[in-house]
Amino acid sequence: MYDIYEEIIDLTRRRGFIWPTSECYGSVAGFIDYGPLGAMLKRRVEDLWRSFYVYQEGYYEIECPTIAQESVFIGSGHVKEFADKMVQCPHCKEFLRADHIAEAHKTPNAQTMSSEILARTLMSLPCPSCEKIFGPVEVFGFNLMFKTAIGPGTQRTGYLRPETAQGMFTDFQRLLRFYRDKLPFGAVQIGKAYRNEISPRQGMIRLREFNQAEAEIFVHPMQKNHPEFSRYRDYIVPLYSMNEQNNGLSPKKHTMDAAVKTNIIANEYVAYYIALTHELLTKLGIKEERMRFRQHLRDEMAHYASDCWDAEIYSDRFGWVETVGIADRTDYDLNAHAKESGKEFKVFVPFDVPKTKKQLKISADMGKLGPLFKVKAKLIADALKDAIPGETSTRVIVEGEEYEVPNSLFSMKEEIIELRGEEVVPHVIEPSYGIDRMIYAVLECSYYEDEVEGETRKVLRLPARIAPVQVAVLPLMNKEGLDSLASELNSRLRSNAIFSVYDDSGAIGRRYRRHDEIGTPFAVTLDFDTIKDKTVTIRERDSMKQVRVNIDELETLIPGLIHDKIQFESLL
């Protein structure tokens, strides 16, 4: 039976997109190498992402280490809670992801099941490795972080980061100063993350070392109207909301404005980045019918999130694959790091007009407080300023100890104070992109086969701006000066930041097929007419149509074609 996945994997290995890691030693599941064309494709996908988040949105990119000390991940909750449910087959001794086995046998919501229920579910199911029925098994948690030691010995524990986000949270105070202490602001990061997956069996879909692109956008907790919402107000996206999922319905298309007004999406920020993500994925070449945005159900949504959506892309091999997550994480992350680090993660937000407030002022009588509490008297006096007085005495906590202070030891009076602003802990909107999953989706959506002159033509119809090789420069023959003309043209194109490749190997038809297969959108052929009248042929990959242009126009034409500012049809 025809399997597009096998065709794509074969193409990516033959043509230098994706290779197994350390293949000469026997490759390890969950790791891949990006070959020459794959690395270039990855950079172009990342640069398209930057064109949205850095250039359009104006968020600066930062870069943090991929290893951090244990306290960072204690604060984030990863040390305690970042675990998947694992089972060991009693027959072949293979360790496996328990919920994935149940889901493969059509068990709904396996990811949210308790370990005990999952264990009972697996009893009658076959092991995917040895195909024997599991029988009685234990399901237990396995922390997915890679643990390491920082420095000689083991005095300081560290972990490889399981996501890029935490560095942006721990840098919050410096980012706040960089953005002149004003909300909203954001930071973005592209880089490696690591998860020690139990049994990665899905190629590029589930890796142990993978590439993430994340944005952390810090907003006022009470002001979630996006200042540029008009850009995507009328943008239409297929939404697979809780309602559709719970009632067995199909996704429905909504404008972002309607989705917010009817409370399908929690706020304008979440809606804005859903629409932006849809536009970005479309520019990558993901087909509309293969995209949907699925809202997390109540039992799968993180306890701290007010709303969360996954951009899912349909794969012929893997079904609907979560590729991007867009969440309103509220103030969970900043509060968690504030508690663990003892530092403040707040923003002072000035009022448009100062406000007045009645406040009870407590003034301790140090003459009475000192003899009673000795060296603790000053600390207790300071704690009293923020205390709530009782009827006869007031309780305060100083250095972890509780003290009861008689009300006769301090005086109270009500005063009116002017408030020029308030301190808030920002909420965080987080769009998180899986770069490797996006690349696989692009390859699957771009792969086509057709028949040309009785032969199968394999084509990657990659959008021109993300194609690894943008132009093939092909001399019809490598003699009579055509080779030197083609070589000179190749150099001129490259000096204009166009990644072109000089290719004179084999018949011209074979060269076209070779570049079709790696997704090169345009081929420029130099022939004997080029010597006479300085014209060349541009061939467009998908239609295979050709047009004759002056060689001196190429440095303007090619960038215009790559970035969709000039349509090839207009040249015909």
The pair phi, psi for residue 220, each rounded to 5°, is -65, 135
| Highest mean pLDDT, choosing among 135-149, 162-176, 351-365 | 162-176
CA distances for 516 relative to 4, 5, 74, 444, angstroms: 17, 18, 50, 15
236: which 2 tokens? 């239409």
Give the count of beta carbons closer than 10 Å to the beta carbon of residue 20.
14
Domain 38-82+144-332+429-435 architecture: 2-Layer Sandwich (3.30)
pLDDT of the residue at 444: 96
End-to-end CA distance of the chain: 40
Sheet-wide strand order for 95-97: 95-97, 83-88, 139-143
Tell me the percentage of the chain whose pLDDT exceeds 70: 99
* Residue range(s) in the chain whose domain bears CATH number 3.30.930.10: 38-82+144-332+429-435
pLDDT tens per residue across span 370-396: 888 988 999 999 999 888 899 899 999
Pull the structure tokens for residue 367.
Answer: 């003459």
Please report, rounded to a whole number, the percentage of residues in the chain having pLDDT higher than 90. 79
Q: Is domain 469-571 classified as CATH 3.30.460.80?
A: no
What is the rounded CA–CA span in Å between residue 493 and residue 498? 5
How far is it, in rounded angstroms, from Cα 300 to Cα 295? 10
454 pLDDT exceeds 90?
no
Per-residue pLDDT tens digits for 192-218:
999 999 888 888 999 999 999 999 999
State the span(s) of the chain assigned CATH 3.40.50.800. Answer: 469-571
Q: What is the pLDDT of residue 1?
A: 45
Q: Which residues does 77 contact at the CB level (< 8 Å), separation at least 6?
A: 336
What DSSP assignment string belongs to 387-422? ----SSEEEEEETTEEEEEEGGGEEEEEEEEEEEEE
Q: How far apart are CA 226 and CA 228, in angstroms?
A: 5
Alpha-carbon torsion angle 35, 38, 43, 47, nearest 10: 180
Under the banding of pLDDT at 50, 70 and 90, the label for residue 142 is: confident
Q: What is the pTM of this model?
A: 0.87
- Gyration radius from the chain CA atoms: 30
Q: What is the pLDDT of residues 67-118, one digit of tens each?
A: 999 999 999 999 988 888 999 999 999 999 899 899 889 888 888 888 999 9
pLDDT band at 154 (very low <50, low <70, confident <90, very high): low
pLDDT in tens, 520-543: 999 999 999 999 999 999 999 999
pLDDT at residue 348, as a whole number: 95
Is the pLDDT assigned to residue 224 strictly greater than 70?
Answer: yes
Give me the pLDDT at residue 215, please. Answer: 98
pLDDT, residue 71, reads 95
The answer to whether 353 touches 359, Cβ cutoff 8 Å, is no
Q: Residue 169 and residue 278: Cα distance in Å, rounded?
A: 26
Residue 207 has φ and ψ, to the nearest 5°, of -115, 155
Cross-strand bridge partners of residue 315: 319
- Is 90 exceeded by the pLDDT of residue 155? no
What is the dihedral angle through the alpha carbons of 350, 354, 356, 360, rounded to the nearest 10 degrees?
A: 40
Neighbours of 553 (CB within 10 A): 15
What torsion do the CA atoms of 99, 102, 104, 108 make, to the nearest 10 degrees?
-90
Give residue 359's pLDDT. 81
If pLDDT is split at 50, 70 and 90, which confidence band does 480 have? confident
Instruction: Say how far apart CA 413 and CA 57 lie, in whole Å.
Output: 50
